[in-house]
Amino acid sequence: MTFRWNPAGLCAAVAMVGMLTAPVAARAETLADTLKSAYLNSGLLEQNRALLRSADEDVAQALSALRPIINWTADITRDFSSARISGQTRNTASTGTTANLGITGSLLLYDFGRNDLLVEAAKETVLATRQTLISVEQLVLLTAVQAYMNVIRNQEFVALRQNNLRLLREESRAARDRFEVGEVTRTDVAQAESAVALAQSGLAAAQGDLTRAIEEFREAVGRDPGALRAPGDLPGLSGDVNAAKAVAVRRHPDILEAQRNVAAAELNMRAADAAMKPTLNLTARLGTSDDIMDSDGSRSGSVGLELTGPIYQGGRLSSQVRQAMAQRDAQRSQLHLVGLQVKQDVGNAYANLRAARASRDASREAVRAAQVAFEGTREEAKLGARTTLDVLDSEQDLLDAQANLISANADVVIAAYSVLAAIGELTAGDLNLGVQTYDPAAYYDLVKTAPVPISPQGQKLDKVLRALGKK
């Protein structure tokens, strides 16, 4: 029994999985292009930028408590009165309607630093929220890397399956021809036909996986993928895991966020303690009162100092102090836990990278060995020492090895960028994407002084809000 194979088809199948570096179009999309689009189109980033602007406004609101508070009041009062006339038995009644208009103002003079502490706590919260935004940026970019490589992975799988199906169909036709002349049995034909059916199933599954990968790419990047080009140079990474952990502890956004939250909790605790002390305010009032019926009016005004302090509030203030202390302790514990988690993530990321590289090296060797085994089995089949099933099994082993190599190459790229994310260096700035990055301080600088709409700063803020499409 003989078994013939198409050497040119086999070479094509092997070539497409070498290093995921097959020739691509001159204008193929790079990973950097995808990361730029993900950064610019991310709805998750837009959401967290809005949350940061909301935190910026907390600073303005806390600062406003240190400024004069001016309110106007207006009321209309109708008075009813009666009197008994001396020596007579009848009563007389009189009514009057009075309109009052006034302006009241107050200015905090001293409160043992409570509102100053609240302003500083709000600033720390802003800085923490900025670090949250950086964490989200890392997540967005890493998700884009995964989506990019998964599309490439599944495109290669589809191409590999298509080539495999084409070769198996040729062999199935050849098996039927040899059966007609009595060179092989009906069993050999059935085995070849079974292999074709299984290849069709594998191709359909690969095409379904590619469709899902494209959908994931569209969600992560905000558009459809173009002709993707496999990454060439990977980010330069130090092999020293301990040094990488030290860098992560210093700059990872999750740790910096936890540190800011601890500082804010400390300030809030001190502010809660200051709330139990008295406050001194400067008060002023200017008003007018007019009798609507008689057109009589009067003017009045006053200026004074007001010292107020709590005597008994049902234990609420003491409870707030204890609550603030508990929240501070919780934030300290969170900082400790985040530090441990970041170190673990760095160690895990490096372990995954080493495993992916080892898997890639092993897969390359597996492809080489499987190709040698397949060629040997094919030659032995020509001499009658091997069956059609042996050849098909050997071909399947080669296909599996090629698929493993494709997957291993993609895993190495994803693992490398996962290391950057674990360290805290997977940002648009660190990657030099050449895209205009969001400035988290720009909006804060406009609102930190709590401008009013009629002020020059307020008018500038209105222009910014219109540019953001919020007004």
CB-count burial class (<10 Å; 0-12, 13-18, 19+) for 289: middle
Query: Could you count the other beta carbons within 10 Å of the beta carbon of residue 292?
Result: 13
Note the CATH number of domain 48-68+130-273+311-427. 1.20.1600.10
Per residue of the chain (471 residues), what is the pLDDT tens digit?
A: 333 334 334 344 434 444 344 444 447 899 999 999 999 999 999 999 999 999 999 999 999 999 999 999 998 888 776 666 555 555 555 567 888 899 999 999 999 999 999 999 999 999 999 999 999 999 999 999 999 999 999 999 999 999 989 888 888 888 888 788 877 788 888 988 998 999 999 999 999 999 999 999 999 999 999 999 989 878 888 888 999 999 999 999 999 999 999 999 999 999 999 999 999 999 999 998 887 666 667 888 899 999 999 999 999 999 999 999 999 999 999 999 999 999 999 999 999 999 999 999 999 999 999 999 988 988 887 777 887 788 888 888 999 999 999 999 999 999 999 999 999 999 999 999 999 999 999 999 999 888 766 567 666 766 666 666 655
Dihedrals φ, ψ of 156, to 5°? -65, -40
For residue 401, how many other CB atoms are within 10 A of its CB?
24
Rounded CA-CA distance 28/229 in Å is 6
Of the chain, the end-to-end C-alpha distance in Å amounts to 81
Backbone angles phi, psi at 305, to 5 degrees: -110, 140
109/41 Cα distance (integer angstroms): 48
> What pTM does this model have?
0.84
Dihedral sign, Cα of residue 461, residue 464, residue 470, residue 471: positive
Count Cβ atoms below 10 Å from residue 372 Cβ, excluding itself: 11
The interaxial angle of helices 31-41 and 114-180, nearest 10 deg, is 130
